A = this chain, B = another copy of it.
């Protein structure tokens, strides 16, 4: 049976399975066995490719963050001017690819992971830093001094909306969240003028 070149395929399957399992169960207490089964292989094989459960979690986290990052970059690429770019960031943050049940659930648990595992903390820090600097770049020309505090507020608001979505039990409503974020932005910007 051994078809060669399985490594990337198996790894990808495991990463996806990890995200789904963590998101679905809403907890990091997911057994390697569950993940492996969902990915269609034995636990031994999962260990063979990743070495440890923690490594699987980190890979899953990288995947989630990198999809998020890619979506942001993509949206920014076609947006002209600070306002449009801010809207692009908001929309990308709640795009269907990121704002799915399992992904949101996984996101929450990655925050928890970051409390314990330094590498997870680092990854989350990178994401937060990038979001922040993206926001700041757009905000500075629009609001000067206030840029900093607006960026902080926007970041927290976005994270908070994710958090609440994780608990809601409903299917995530990206549109409503985007509207809230843009509304905040509008309120802050129009008043500053």
How many subunits of this chain does the assembly comprise? 2
Question: In this assembly, does A114 line the interface, its C-beta being within 8 Å of a C-beta of chain B?
Answer: yes
Contact of A124 among B29, B121, B156, B167 (CB under 8 A): B167
The secondary structure that dominates the A interface is helix
Min CB distance A1 to B, Å, is 37
CA distance A115 to B22 in the complex (A): 11
* Residues A108 and B112 in contact in the complex (CB < 8 Å), given A158-B160, A180-B149, A190-B191: yes
CA distance A133 to B112 in the complex (A): 29
Q: Could you tell me if B157 and A157 are in contact, using CB atoms closer than 8 angstroms? A: yes
Q: Could you tell me if B163 and A180 are in contact, using CB atoms closer than 8 angstroms? A: no
- Counting chain B CB atoms within 10 Å of each CB, the highest count among A112, A156, A161 belongs to A156
* Residues A156 and B167 in contact in the complex (CB < 8 Å), given A109-B112, A111-B108, A149-B183: no
Q: Could you tell me if B191 and A112 are in contact, using CB atoms closer than 8 angstroms? A: no
- Counting chain B CB atoms within 10 Å of each CB, the highest count among A112, A114, A128, A186 belongs to A112
Q: Could you tell me if B166 and A111 are in contact, using CB atoms closer than 8 angstroms? A: yes
Binary contact readout A157-193 vs B (1 if CB under 8 angstroms, 0 otherwise): 1111101101100000000000110011011101100
Question: In this assembly, does A52 line the interface, its C-beta being within 8 Å of a C-beta of chain B?
Answer: no
CA distance A157 to B158 in the complex (A): 8
Binary contact readout A88-121 vs B (1 if CB under 8 angstroms, 0 otherwise): 0000000000000000010011011011100001
Contact of A111 among B29, B153, B163, B180 (CB under 8 A): B163
Q: Could you tell me if B111 and A25 are in contact, using CB atoms closer than 8 angstroms? A: no
Min CB distance A176 to B, Å, is 8
CA distance A38 to B164 in the complex (A): 32
Q: Could you tell me if B124 and A115 are in contact, using CB atoms closer than 8 angstroms? A: no
Question: In this assembly, does A33 line the interface, its C-beta being within 8 Å of a C-beta of chain B?
Answer: no
Min CB distance A168 to B, Å, is 10
